[in-house]
Structure 1
Amino acid sequence: MRWVYRIGGAAVIVIVSVFGYLWYTFQSPYGYEAPTNPPIMDGRLEHHTVFVYGTLRYAPIRWLVMRRAGPKTPSRLRGYARDELDISPAPNQQVDGYTLSVTSDELKRLDRYEHLGERYRRVNVKLASGQSAWVYRRLQ
């Protein structure tokens, strides 16, 4: 009977640890300080377009980060190649991904998720469709 308590206790520790990690990573005010001068965000715009090519392609991650999964549109970024967690300029190559339409608040949540200014920078690119979009690139 003791093994039941041990397994139950271990399960509780794992669940609390996972929820603690998710809260700390996506919602807490600790562990990340937003840059004082983020890339221009026009507060008058209702929506911003973001090109995603990594973990943000998946609805559960978007839901955790933005508090909604939202629709995604297949898209392509020409002149870049994917290199694990980053993209880098590469003539004659392309990166397949999705575009998301996000609010200014959701863009701030994405900045937090990507640790804007610490791990990634947000730059404006022109997609194969001719549409302009934000994309996150690793800091060198």
Structure 2
Amino acid sequence: MHRRYLVITALVVMLAVLGWLWLTMLSPFTYERPDHLPDIEEGEHAVFVYGTLRLAPIRWVVMGRAGETEPASLEGFRRDGLDLAEAPGERVEGEVIVVDAGELQRLDRYERLGIRYERVPMRLEDGRMVWVYRRLSELQRPAIDGATI
């Protein structure tokens, strides 16, 4: 009986985690791309990831594949919680992943582009131009019912 309880509990926890992942990363109910954002251009896009998207399982859930990454550095910045802060003489270690337009759209959804983050072009230490997600300031975040997100 005890073993059955553990199996049921593990299944409930796993379903809860999968439900949360679906709701926050894939669900059409939790994100609507703001109208003011430009359309995503077709083709390949290089994206510098420095947080949770460095983890292959997260990329697989978000994009539908883990993708190949390569190490990269962004000079003049440091990690500051969920964002980057300018910091001369410092660098942020991360990875670059090359994605197509559909995958970039799914990454935008995960990062809540236009609501929590913006996607900006930046130059890496090796000279490559990549997209980098930067946290929107409180002033940039849209208001919902008088409160910022």
Residue in 1 that maps onto 2:36 = 37
In the TM superposition, what is the alpha-carbon distance from 1:38 to its structure 2 partner? 2.5
Residue in 2 that maps onto 1:15 = 14
Residue in 1 that maps onto 2:95 = 98
Residue in 2 that maps onto 1:27 = 26
In the TM superposition, what is the alpha-carbon distance from 1:33 to its structure 2 partner? 1.1
Between stretches 130-139 and 28-37, larger displacement belongs to: 28-37
Between stretches 26-35 and 98-107, larger displacement belongs to: 26-35
Residue in 1 that maps onto 2:62 = 65
Q: Is 1:126 aligned to residue 100 of structure 2?
A: no
Distance 1:125 1:40 in 2: 19
Sequence identity percentage: 49
Distance 1:133 1:54 in 2: 15
Q: Secondary structure at the match of 1:118?
A: coil
Select the residue among 52, 55, 63 that pairs with 1:55: 52
TM normalised by structure 2 equals: 0.84
Residue in 2 that maps onto 1:112 = 109
Gaps of 5+ in 2: 138-149
Q: Secondary structure at the match of 2:84?
A: strand
Distance 1:41 1:121 in 2: 13
Q: What is the letter of the counterpart of residue 78 of structure 1?
A: E
In the TM superposition, what is the alpha-carbon distance from 1:119 to its structure 2 partner? 1.2
Gaps of 5+ in 1: none
- Asked whether the 8 Å contact 1:70–1:100 carries over to 2, the reply is yes
In the TM superposition, what is the alpha-carbon distance from 1:4 to its structure 2 partner? 4.6
- Asked whether the 8 Å contact 2:40–2:105 carries over to 1, the reply is no
Residue in 1 that maps onto 2:144 = none
Distance 1:103 1:28 in 2: 20
Between stretches 31-40 and 112-121, larger displacement belongs to: 31-40
Distance 1:57 1:39 in 2: 26
Distance 1:9 1:57 in 2: 32
Superposed structure 1 runs of 4+ greater than 4 Å apart: none
**Superposed CA offset, 1:42-99 (max 9, x none):** 22xx200100101111111111111011110111111111112110111111111111
Superposed CA RMSD in Å reads 1.5
